[in-house]
């Protein structure tokens, strides 16, 4: 007995899996890290003193409170949503938006106006993490890496 394809057997056309872009993969990884980090943060902080400046720290460097954990879970969820539900162009736009929010959080954090999230002013670890969390999505959201990869493939 010969094997028939689903298209021949039932008239169902199979679609090939869409390829994921570098930007979508970045969003998936960053979103997963932020959601898991926010959940682990609740084990460190508990659920009390929601917006108070605390002495709870993740990895001994990043200051936390429960509200800070909620913000990380929300931003991580947005990144995951962008990775799986948006088009590649929409995901790049989301990366730009999140990068912009983190750039603003970096400036505000260095100036000392993020005590609501238990982030101290100055050269605190959180402020440097926010700087990295701003630059990475801005690079991935700009399409710069995709353009460089396409140019290399064209010359090879």
pTM of the full structure: 0.75
Q: Is residue 12 a part of any domain in this protein?
A: no
Per-residue pLDDT in tens (0 to 9) along the chain, 156 residues: 567 776 777 777 766 667 888 888 999 999 999 999 999 988 888 888 776 667 766 777 777 888 888 999 999 999 999 999 888 888 889 999 999 999 998 888 888 777 666 676 777 778 888 899 899 888 888 877 666 665 444 444
User: What is residue 68's predicted lDDT score, i.e. its pLDDT?
Assistant: 84
Q: Is residue 14 a part of any domain in this protein?
A: no
User: What is residue 14's predicted lDDT score, i.e. its pLDDT?
Assistant: 66
Q: Is residue 54 a part of any domain in this protein?
A: yes
Query: Residue 86 gets which letter from DSSP?
Result: S
Q: Is the dihedral of CA 113, 119, 124, 127 positive or negative?
A: negative
Give the whole-angstrom CA distance, residue 86 versus residue 91.
6
Total tally of structural domains belonging to the chain: 1
Q: Is residue 89 a part of any domain in this protein?
A: yes
Query: Which residue in 80, 79, 52, 84 sits closest to 65, CA to CA?
Result: 52
- Identify the three-state secondary structure at position 58: strand
> Structural domain of residue 78, as residue ranges?
21-145
Q: Is residue 156 a part of any domain in this protein?
A: no
């Amino acid at each position: 007995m010969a094997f028939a394809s689903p298209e021949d057997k039932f008239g169902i056309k199979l679609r090939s899996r869409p390829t994921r872009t570098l930007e979508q993969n970045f969003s998936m990884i960053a979103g997963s890290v932020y959601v898991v980090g926010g959940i682990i943060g609740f084990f460190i902080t508990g659920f009390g003193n929601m917006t108070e400046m605390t002495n709870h720290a993740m990895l001994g460097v990043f200051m936390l409170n429960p509200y800070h954990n909620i913000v990380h879970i929300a931003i991580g969820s947005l990144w995951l949503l962008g990775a799986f539900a948006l088009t590649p162009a929409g995901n790049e736009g989301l990366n730009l938006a999140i990068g912009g929010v983190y750039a603003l959080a970096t400036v505000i954090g260095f100036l000392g106006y993020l005590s609501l999230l238990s982030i101290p002013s100055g050269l605190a670890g959180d402020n440097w993490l926010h700087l990295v969390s701003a630059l990475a999505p801005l690079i991935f959201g700009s399409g710069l890496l995709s353009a460089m990869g396409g140019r290399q493939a064209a010359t090879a």
